[in-house]
Structure 1
């Protein structure tokens, strides 16, 4: 019986508990003739990851990078190491996924049986909502100049119904949360671009398709992954927009200006609702793309995040948006001093309107803490000070009419300048092709 040699690459930075759970899952896999070796790329974690793994999991090989080079750099580091070794396939895994026992077998069988397939990804379900599909591969969505996940946010569908008698799904992109590929692809197209995180797997899959390989997804391979809904942070938008621009510049330059036009409405909305700190993140990502900046974000965040201790004073009336805990699953405790009074919106609609009118002259609340992602706009006006919870801290917003107007004008000016520079980039990219 032929033994198929597979090497798994797990990139981590201060996620020891997640990595250990994932390693335990690999020990429960149905391998059926597969020899699986685990390589953990440690981006200089400060939580003792390397020492712990070497002591408790001696079968796991730890590759130390010496610094935090992100998911992109970590996966590339592992690929460069493994290209020298005699493995048939390489399996990329995010450090926070959990595996079904058949997760690897279905991927290996796809590559074994279909020589045209170079890369194959899994059905990814939401870890927080196990009965909901996060994605089974993605496609380029021309109308939105972005990506569209296949069956994203859908209830579970049977493998037979998904495949509809096809051997696999042919897609544009598979996420590196669980992606198996042939070792020779590294020799042919190279490793990930230096994006630090996000859209590195998108660009790499498009590069593989350009080289003639089929990118596939197989729903019989199931993994559970933390949903972006529960781990998103405003600063991640920097990498999303910057790296998407690099990806489109290389593979779909005609989508660059369309993406910018579609982004305008969102950024205006953020600005008008006091979240100009978030528009600053997007603008910085776009401007750094035009400067040719890659890798880790070169500067500090353009806003300050406060702790609860810094913003709450004794005897303060505090309004906390009810959905704030649903937005961020990691944040479950709002430690409020006993002297602090939580202020609740009245249930009666007429009384709400009355309070809102009175608040133009006298603010009933000292402090409002609202969701950064889905703020209740009605509550902005009720407090003397308003903070948006980002999942890691609290950012103060200024909703004075003058501040909103100035910020909106600044946004429009910077976007106009970005659009003009982007037009030049698109023209040059079209000429190069």
Structure 2
């Protein structure tokens, strides 16, 4: 490239109160194969109180430790690390989450790929879950600007085997484990600290693509990641994810998609608030409304006041008098995320589970689950106390003569209804939807328009 660089690689890890994960991450990092590359490890610590900075100083004096005075989130942590790597002139920059475990060639394979593909602005690893190493969390991901206005994780919940492609050309790769270049960072800048956490890597990758580069994920670089936020007792994950999702789309959306976007977000919120109310959990919809108001008044970054404690949800096993010794079946569909979530949820409770599906989904289910799969026609001869019928969403219910009182309908969000309840559910939902569309949606439309105009003026 003609430029003189200080070192080949600057490896940035953002850390907040995860000293035990950080130990594992650093251990695997220093066992990595770097061939002859020169590198520095830069840990940005977000004012941890668990002894993380002392652990680094005592055990890894060679690490460059940047200590923030307050918790600036993943966005602020990566931003500080990236700015440091630009200033210090590392030729390539790796971003790593602190709760990752690397294979020996994870980083060298990213480096080799980006070095040999100048059109590529960022390359991400295949990410598998730490608790379930042969299951893919994501490998390259996409942003849906047309339909759901959300992100879509490629190959999520699939088995990690030879059927996966070697490379996916995509919209973004997460900062969990990615590589980019000094040249790209100088062109597009650092992470946006307004996010605090979530959608910051999508925002950054979108800017990289707008600058004319491609984003790729590769299969021969693998990392294991500890999944966080899903079991939060508060609305931390929901608040930041939804606030930043709305901020992202209002910033990048084409004008002619705006009406559809508002409609999709409102439909999502109608569903969220309706089912939260059924479950006796009011924290999520309240936090979501706070997210919109925070965007409107410019409360960005960390916003503790908009995060609420979740009420305990109704236990479905008590509600339907289910016993963990009952012989039960799960009727699976083609949506693998719903299948996997329902299966993991029920597996924690039941001792005996039979999986079954119809013929057209048999090969897909068979290749993704180790358990025996029973086909529908054989299944009908079996005697089950309860049959859990998986749906992408419980409102997708279609009446069928097959159904009787044994059936419990369940979706990926663990919304649950028996046959009697599900028949009334749609009419209750339609009434609630009517009220919302006529009264609340026009007000939200006005708020979204104001927020979008604010972003346009900033640019």
TM-score band, normalised by shorter chain? 0.7 to 0.9
Question: Aligned in 2, Cα 1:145/1:325: closer, same or farther, shift over 3 Å?
Answer: closer
Secondary structure (helix, strand or coil) at the match of 1:209 reads helix
Q: Deviations over 1:8-59 (max 9, x none)?
A: 1111111011111100001111111222321111111111111111011112
Contact kept? 2:172, 2:206, Cα under 8 Å: yes
- Correspondence 1:19-418 to 2 at 5 A: 19-141=22-144, 142-158=146-162, 162-163=165-166, 168-194=167-193, 195-227=195-227, 230-231=230-231, 234-253=235-254, 254=257, 256-267=261-272, 268-299=274-305, 301-303=307-309, 374=414, 414-418=440-444
- CA distance 1:426–1:229, shift in 2 (3 Å): closer
Equivalent residue for 1:422? 448
Deviation at 1:187, TM superposition (A): 1.7
Cα-to-partner distance string for 1:89-113 (whole Å, 9 max, x where unaligned): 1111011011111101111011111
Which runs of 5 or more structure 2 residues have no equivalent in the other structure? 313-320, 325-340, 348-383, 387-411, 422-430
Q: Compute the displacement of 1:271 (Å).
A: 2.4
Distance 1:432 1:257 in 2: 21
Alpha-carbon distance change, 348 to 138 in structure 1, aligned in 2, over 3 angstroms: closer
DSSP 3-state at the match of 1:20 = helix
Q: CA RMSD in A?
A: 3.9
CA–CA separation in structure 1 for the residues paired with 2:323 and 2:293: 33
Give the conservation status (yes or no) of the 8 Å contact 2:251–2:456: no
Deviation, 1:269, is 2.1
Calculate the TM-score normalised by the size of structure 2: 0.68
Cα distance in 2 between the residues matched to 1:241 and 1:207 = 20
In the alignment of these two chains, the number of paired residues is: 359
Distance of 1:328 and 1:15 partners within structure 2: 29
Which position in structure 2 is the counterpart of 1:360? none
**Other-structure match for 1:16:** 19
User: Displacement, 1:126?
Assistant: 1.2
Matches of 2:323 and 2:29, distance apart in 1:
40
Shift of 1:241: 0.9
State the shift of 1:418 in Å. Answer: 1.7
TM-score, normalised to structure 1, is 0.72
Residues 115 and 241 from structure 1, CA distance in 2 versus in 1: closer, same or farther, beyond 3 angstroms? same
Return 5+ residue gaps in structure 1 as ranges: 307-318, 330-346, 350-371, 382-404
**TM-fit CA distance, 1:283:** 1.6
Q: Which residue of 2 aligns with 1:334?
A: none
